Structure formats: C-alpha cells, structure tokens
Amino acid sequence: MKIIPALDIIDGKCVRLYKGDYNQKTEYKLSPLEVAKSYEEAGLKHLHLVDLDGAKAGEVVNWEVVQSLCSQTQLAIDFGGGAKTTQHLERLFELGVKQVTVGSMAVQDPEQVAEWIKTFGAERLILGADVLDGSIRTKGWTEDSGLQIGEFLRNWLDKGFKYVICTDVSKDGAFQGPSTDLYREIITTFPQVRLIASGGVTELSDLPDLQAIGCHGAIVGKALYENRITVEELSSLSF
C-alpha cells in the first residue's frame, strides 16, 4: 500500500479544512516546498497535492506551487483541484505531475472525461469520489451532485478508470478515523479498483487496517501537521 502525505493549498499556503468547510481552516507556517522537502528527505515517495482555490474556482489557481514542487522535488505528485480543460491537464503533465485527479468534471462533463481517458491513458488519471452520506460532492465539496457513490463508481470503472481516491467528507480533518467500512464495501463490490483512502487517518494503526482490507494507497494529511503521526513513523512503514 502506498503511503501518500497530503498538501492542501489556499493562497499558496498549506492549510487543512475541517470536514471540507472553507470557513473552518487551519493555516500552517511552513511553505508547501518546505513541507514537501521534509517528506522527501524522510524517504517518502508520493505526494497528494490539492489546490483548494482551484477546486472552488473551477480552474487551477496555484500554478506556482505546482511548478516549484515538481521542479524541486522528486516526489511522484498526484494533483487535484480545478483541472477542467485539456490544456490544464497538458500543462500539469508538462510541469511533471504524475497523475491528475478528476472529480467534479466526471459529474459535470462526462464526455470530456471519457475523452481524457483515451487521450492521456487511465494510468495518468485518478477518479475523485468525494462522498457525504453516500452522495458524491462536487466543487470542492460544496455541492451535492445527487449521484450515489455506487452508481458513480460503476459507471466510471466500466469506462476505464483504474484508480479512485475516495474521501469521506464527514471524516476529513476530524480525527475520527477513516471510513474503513465504506472502503471495504467499495473494494468488495469493485475488486478491480485501486482504491486510495482519504480522510480521517488519525493514528499510525489506521494504516495497517486500511492495508488489510485491500486499499491501494492511503492519504495522510492533518495527522501529520498536528504531529499525531510523524514523518519518521510513516517512512518506517513497509507494506
């Protein structure tokens, strides 16, 4: 299982939201590059980078952060937040992003997303499934799509997606533990999925639990910032 630290960005700064609420954010002093370098120096290989401004605005905003992290680290970066056009994806890949997460667009413009799978390949794309009370959320979690997670996943896995980041919005940043039951149900229903768990990881023991149910990866965010889990502890894990 991949261990993937997260960086959420607003106004070029590292932040964390509470349950996806932009009005309940915590801002951290270190720059995104300083944080990313600390992960790399500890031996971690991956990074989940989220442009929260972009997710809300509907277009990528924090381009300078993307460029600095891609050019000054060797981390394998997956990016989410506002990638809405083919030009956005092309630029992100040119800068060095390894994968782009597609969430709101999979609801708003499915024909375009299906074309991206053909153009860029399923290995370079991740389906973002942000869920609250069983329903897919869009636009930085601010809108309810009305789609249930099961039908959403079935549709897109049939169309070629392999990787899925599933975030339970009710757990994100809340230190309540991950939605293990939800992830187990998804993996059981769709055994072909490479599921990346996101939201709620609170302590180190959560990670072996996610690995045991078959998660392909696990994203760790606020628990790192708040020192509930240390970078050294993460880097010592082997799955």
Enzyme catalytic residues: 8, 130
Cα angle 219, 224, 63 (rounded to 5 degrees) comes to 65
Residue that is written with structure tokens 């500890």 in the block: 42
Task: State whether the Cα torsion 124-97-55-112 is positive or negative.
Answer: negative
CB 42 within 8 A of CB 234: yes
What's the chain's Rg over C-alpha atoms? Answer: 16
235 in Cβ contact with 20 (< 8 Å): no
Of 40, 44, 17, the C-alpha closest to 28 is 17
Q: Alpha-carbon distance 166 to 188, whole Å?
A: 14
Neighbours of 124 (CB within 10 A): 18
